Structure 1
Amino acid sequence: MRKRARLIYNPSSGKEAMRQHLPEILDILELAGLETSCHMTKGSEDTIQAAMQAAEDRFDYVIAAGGDGTVNEVVNGLAQAEKRPVLGILPAGTSNDLAGALGLPRDLLEAAHQLTRFQIRPLDVGQANGQFFINIAGCGRLTEITYEVPSKLKTALGQLAYYMKGLEKIPQLRDIHLEVEAENFGFSGKAMLCLIMNSRRVGGFENLVPDAKMDDGLLDVIIVKQSTIPDIIRLATQALRGEHIHSNRVIHFQADRLTVRSREHVDLNLDGEHGGTLPAEFVVLRHHLQVLA
């Protein structure tokens, strides 16, 4: 029997490239022996439900075509299932952090051909207060950029939209009070942001944690301590080269479980989407999914 794939695609992701390339992508998947059907997303809850239904219908593969937000929604559907299809990703979004960390090409047709090599690897999944994330959880003013950028602006400008929003945010940057607890680590004080990562790549920064692995059963945590705006700009420059990790303004540790609290209202970012507010308990589910890489 031919294996079945469910392609769940976001028509507005990135610069709407899926609209143009969908027939060619379906042809690539069919020629590789996959009996492929499609679902066009209509919102976050619809995407989650579509992924859950695909798992219930025992599809062999579920391919998420869109940005990191679309991938997050598909993962939130698959991760709840007892029997989980293999995840595939077509990077049709703005940043495509997870696809980049998995080594998938940005070109959609090349990425589709790569998926049909059927190279499968295990993938850890993070969980925060009952929600799942696959790449990054974060808090702090800078992490709000990703869900504050209008989708139309992302469609028109791509990654540049995030950089523009980042420049707009710089004058508003302020520290927040954080309490971070893990088995062998504790922090209490003012911080600019906290990132809880499952890969080395976030927001187009290729080496935010150069040695991070997506299947080691550990989350990599970065805390940027109270800093001036010149300090933040300097750290961002160092982060482009992966050198920020040695700064005295940066704390880095690994954990499979941690809790983050604050005395003030702090929003939580999960894979670029709003994920509620602190406090939150984070755990890693080791090898919870399999992914085409």
Structure 2
Amino acid sequence: MKRARLIYNPTSGREEIRRLLPDVLERLDRHGIETSCHATTGEGDATREAAWAVERGYDIIIAAGGDGTLNEVVNGMAGLNTLPPLGVFPMGTTNDFARAMGIPRRWEDYCDLVIENKTRPIDIGRVNGRHFINIAGGGTLTELTYEVPSKLKTLIGQLAYYVKGVEKMVSLSPTQLIIDAEGYDTVEGEFMLFLIANSNSVGGFEKLAPDARIDDGLLDVIAVKKCNLAEFIRLVSLALRGDHLDDPHVAYFKTPRMSVTSPGQVQLNLDGELGGELPGVFEVLPQHLHIFA
């Protein structure tokens, strides 16, 4: 019998995991996967628990929650020896990574993926000693994901991000950045934000990085140059259709490694969570993890 450790955020999404947990455990156990649980209690708890589970030799690690919970679990696993496969139960507000991977929303279907041991290798990103599985970025608008209160996300779901986004857009301002990417000339200028995508689904936009692949050993970089509010809103409408990459206000390229610096203070967003500040050296770890997908 295999042993699995299920690490879940009891407040993710609309707290659905609380109701589903007994059925999930029963289904896995019935198919030879003995599963124990850990409910996270605060920032960093999922990281510590994931590292503990790997060190104790669990055969499977499962993260149940949103992108932030997944990020913490990945940070607990990455860099350790002999990593077990990772399961992802999408229970958050946006579930960008799960959507990019085609992970089913129905818990029964995802349990079956784990039971059938269907895995695939994926890249993960690293910056300044921290890891991200889906997206890294910086700039005023990228701050809204970790500024939205968890209670508000529980009450109104993804609408909470739209409410905060409107507030942020009114005060958008450019930031001076120096971007030095492997294979490209150094770029210096004023940018509204920059995004480093590991998949094609970012912030609820499924076509923001349409050519991004989770296992190609490259990071897709999108940097929005200085523009006014009307131009920025136009870019957002183009991004909904995936038609933004050829716009003159957008710099887009793929690279395995890059550095970003700024004379000002710029916070980093890693999978929707606060990830320190610039300067940052971003790199890809090719096919570093296996996930059930």
2:241 equivalent in structure 1? 241
SS in 2 for 1:245: coil
Contact 1:52 1:78 in 2 (8 A): yes
Task: State the AA in 1 paired with 2:286.
Answer: R
1:288 equivalent in structure 2? 288
Q: Which moved more, 1:28-37 or 1:264-273?
A: 28-37
Q: How does 1:49-60 map to 2 (within 5 A)?
A: 49-60=48-59
What per-residue deviation string (whole Å, max 9, x for no partner) do you get for residues 213-270 of structure 1? 0011110100111111111111111111111112111111011110000010100000
Residue 132 (str. 1) matches residue 131 (str. 2): yes
For the residues of structure 1 that align with 2:149 and 2:105, how far apart are their CA atoms?
Answer: 22
Q: Which moved more, 1:34-43 or 1:130-139?
A: 34-43
SS in 1 for 2:178: strand
SS in 1 for 2:137: strand
For the residues of structure 1 that align with 2:93 and 2:106, how far apart are their CA atoms?
Answer: 12
1:191 equivalent in structure 2? 191
Q: CA deviation at 1:43?
A: 1.6
Task: State the AA in 1 paired with 2:127.
Answer: A
SS in 2 for 1:161: helix
For the residues of structure 2 that align with 1:113 and 1:204, how far apart are their CA atoms?
Answer: 26
For the residues of structure 2 that align with 1:58 and 1:101, how far apart are their CA atoms?
Answer: 29
What per-residue deviation string (whole Å, max 9, x for no partner) do you get for residues 148-169 of structure 1? 0000000001111001100111
For the residues of structure 1 that align with 2:203 and 2:115, how far apart are their CA atoms?
Answer: 27
Kindly tell me the number of residue pairs found equivalent between the two proteins. Answer: 292
1:211 equivalent in structure 2? 211
2:221 equivalent in structure 1? 221
Residue 153 (str. 1) matches residue 152 (str. 2): yes
Q: CA deviation at 1:114?
A: 3.5
For the residues of structure 2 that align with 1:239 and 1:32, how far apart are their CA atoms?
Answer: 43
Contact 1:262 1:278 in 2 (8 A): yes
Contact 1:104 1:114 in 2 (8 A): no
Residue 27 (str. 1) matches residue 26 (str. 2): yes
2:75 equivalent in structure 1? 76
Contact 1:198 1:219 in 2 (8 A): yes
2:141 equivalent in structure 1? 142
Residue 172 (str. 1) matches residue 185 (str. 2): no
Superposition misfits of 4+ residues, deviation over 6 angstroms: none
Q: CA deviation at 1:4?
A: 1.2
For the residues of structure 1 that align with 2:115 and 2:155, how far apart are their CA atoms?
Answer: 30
Q: CA deviation at 1:144?
A: 0.2
Q: CA deviation at 1:28?
A: 1.8
SS in 2 for 1:21: helix
Q: CA deviation at 1:116?
A: 2.7
Q: CA deviation at 1:183?
A: 1.9
Percent identical among aligned pairs is 53
Gap regions ≥5 residues in structure 1? none
What per-residue deviation string (whole Å, max 9, x for no partner) do you get for residues 108-128 of structure 1? 333333333321100111000
SS in 2 for 1:209: coil
Task: State the AA in 2 paired with 1:264.
Answer: G
Q: How does 1:108-119 map to 2 (within 5 A)?
A: 108-119=107-118
2:260 equivalent in structure 1? 260
Task: State the AA in 2 paired with 1:63.
Answer: I
For the residues of structure 2 that align with 1:249 and 1:106, how far apart are their CA atoms?
Answer: 35
Q: CA deviation at 1:107?
A: 3.1
Contact 1:84 1:289 in 2 (8 A): yes
SS in 1 for 2:275: strand
1:94 equivalent in structure 2? 93
Q: CA deviation at 1:79?
A: 0.4
Contact 1:91 1:111 in 2 (8 A): no
What per-residue deviation string (whole Å, max 9, x for no partner) do you get for residues 25-70 of structure 1? 1112112321111111112321111000110011111000000000
Task: State the AA in 2 paired with 1:238.
Answer: L
For the residues of structure 2 that align with 1:61 and 1:235, how far apart are their CA atoms?
Answer: 41
Contact 1:175 1:193 in 2 (8 A): yes
For the residues of structure 2 that align with 1:259 and 1:54, how far apart are their CA atoms?
Answer: 33
For the residues of structure 2 that align with 1:43 and 1:80, how far apart are their CA atoms?
Answer: 23
